[in-house]
């Protein structure tokens, strides 16, 4: 029995199972997330690893016994499952195109993949910073020491007039670090001439809400004040976030210029032109009350939103993003793009995967439209992405307080600190 090959196939099978069939629940959901994330985003890398192990075992003459042939059959089944996972990931692009068209109210589509980009996705799945993008690290923007630091990514040539992107990390308001998620997004936009900011903010223990939101507003004010140093246009700021960071991005978009949330810098301009929320949490922040709920704070003056969430997210159910997008559509006058990504887990933005590549293309289309003053307001009765249930949920104009409430159960708790963000 080739025990090394057996262990390889068993480990691959474990990862593939949880990527293909994510299980929900507090414990099983975390197991599914931790076990299946990498394979779910990089199925071709897993397939190459499995085939290489099979080829090595065959070259060593280890596949002649009945037991070895059974292990090989298991490897074949895992390969078929990986092909299904890859196919599911490829469905993200048409879903995003549909979401853009529906949400913006005008025909919109992402750029098709060239062969060069396809090769890069297969051969370089980790988001490595391009040589023409420079990073300036650990700039202090507030008084909270290491929890008030930011990095700036910008094009080395410092072209003038580029917009500003601010990205906030996840971590359940108790953990996380800047620059961990959405690196492909910040690298891409910086290479296009944007000034991209990734920042830390105050966490628990040691702080409570709205401290992280106050920090978010400090970041916006800092970016505006220093935009000229990086050739950026301070009038075009987009705020984005992943998981808990998406909550902060949404709250910053809903509370622009609120002096109660800007102690010591009440007169600073903290307005934003748009918000991008990735696999976000939108409910109340622990015990701090309904005023901390992004779902409750949505209003008719909100800026354009792009909300992206995976339908296989076992850390934060997709129903919560559907309810948030429905609430936005019901009250906001601005476009709302909601893309529910087939098969995507939490933290789908950690890699340069086909799925996240497609979403970054979509974010470029979305930001180009709204920053250019696109007049489309989206279809209030339409669906974005793949969620036909959305339309039914909002036909009466009164979406539920949360998807959990619609299902007759308690709202989901905020994500706890773990690598999921």
pLDDT over 60 at 311, yes or no: yes
pLDDT over 80 at 188, yes or no: yes
pLDDT band at 286 (very low <50, low <70, confident <90, very high): confident
Tokens of 195: 């000034």
Output the pLDDT for position 230.
96
pLDDT over 60 at 405, yes or no: no
Q: Where are the domains of the chain?
A: 3-90, 96-406
Helices (H), 43-124: 43-59, 66-90, 92-104, 115-123
Instruction: Give the residue carrying structure tokens 């978009």.
Output: 253
Helices (H), 162-243: 183-191, 211-225
As a whole number, mean pLDDT of residues 386-413 equals 36
Q: In the beta sheet, which residues pair with residue 136?
A: 152
pLDDT digits (tens, 9 = 90+) for 354-390: 999 999 999 999 999 999 986 444 444 433 343 333 3
Instruction: Give the residue carrying structure tokens 């190459």.
Output: 48
Instruction: Provide the whole-model pTM.
Output: 0.88
Q: Is 341 helix (H, G, I), strand (E, B) or coil?
A: strand
Phi, psi (degrees; rounded to nearest 5) at 164: -120, 130
CATH no. for 96-406: 3.40.50.1820
As a whole number, mean pLDDT of residues 49-54 equals 94
Q: Are 399 and 393 in contact (CB under 8 A)?
A: yes
Q: Which of 87, 90, 83, 91 shows the shortest CA–CA distance to 50? A: 83
What are the residue numbers of the active site? 243, 313, 346
pLDDT digits (tens, 9 = 90+) for 136-151: 999 999 999 999 999 9
pLDDT over 80 at 406, yes or no: no
């Amino acid at each position: 029995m080739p025990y090394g090959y057996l262990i390889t196939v068993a480990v691959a099978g474990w990862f593939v199972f949880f990527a293909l069939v994510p299980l929900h629940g507090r414990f099983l959901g975390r197991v599914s997330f931790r076990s299946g994330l990498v394979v779910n985003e990089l199925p071709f890398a897993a397939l190459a690893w499995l085939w290489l192990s099979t080829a090595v075992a065959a070259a060593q003459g280890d596949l002649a016994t009945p037991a070895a042939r059974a292990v090989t059959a298991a490897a074949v089944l895992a390969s078929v499952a990986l092909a299904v996972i890859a196919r599911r990931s490829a469905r993200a692009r048409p879903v995003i195109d549909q979401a853009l068209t529906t949400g913006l109210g005008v025909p919109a589509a992402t750029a098709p993949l060239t062969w060069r980009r396809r090769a890069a996705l297969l051969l370089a799945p980790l988001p490595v910073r391009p040589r023409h993008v420079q990073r300036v690290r650990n700039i202090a923007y507030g008084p909270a020491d290491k929890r008030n630091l930011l990095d700036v990514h910008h094009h080395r040539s410092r072209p003038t007039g580029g917009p500003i992107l601010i990205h906030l990390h996840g971590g359940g308001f108790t953990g996380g670090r800047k620059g961990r998620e959405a690196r492909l997004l910040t690298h891409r936009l910086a290479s296009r001439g944007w000034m991209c900011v990734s920042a830390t903010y105050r966490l628990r223990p040691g702080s409570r809400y709205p401290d992280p939101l106050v920090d978010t507003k400090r970041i916006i004010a800092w970016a505006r004040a220093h935009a000229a140093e990086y050739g950026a246009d301070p009038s075009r700021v987009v705020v984005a976030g992943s998981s808990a960071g998406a909550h902060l991005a949404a709250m910053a978009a809903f509370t622009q210029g609120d002096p109660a949330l800007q102690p010591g810098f009440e007169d600073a301009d903290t307005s934003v032109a748009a918000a991008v929320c990735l696999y976000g949490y939108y409910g109340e922040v622990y015990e701090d009350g309904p005023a901390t709920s992004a779902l409750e704070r949505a209003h008719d003056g909100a800026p354009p939103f792009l909300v992206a969430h995976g339908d296989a997210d076992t850390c934060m159910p997709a129903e919560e993003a559907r309810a948030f997008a429905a609430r936005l559509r019901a009250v906001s006058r601005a476009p709302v793009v909601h893309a529910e990504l087939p098969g995507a887990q939490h933290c789908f933005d950690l890699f340069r995967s086909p799925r996240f590549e497609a979403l970054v293309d979509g974010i470029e289309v979305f930001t180009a439209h709204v920053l250019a003053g696109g007049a489309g307001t989206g279809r209030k009765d339409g669906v974005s992405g793949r969620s036909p249930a959305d339309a039914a949920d909002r036909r009466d104009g009164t979406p539920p307080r949360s998807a959990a409430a619609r299902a007759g159960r308690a709202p989901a708790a905020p994500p706890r600190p773990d690598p999921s963000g």
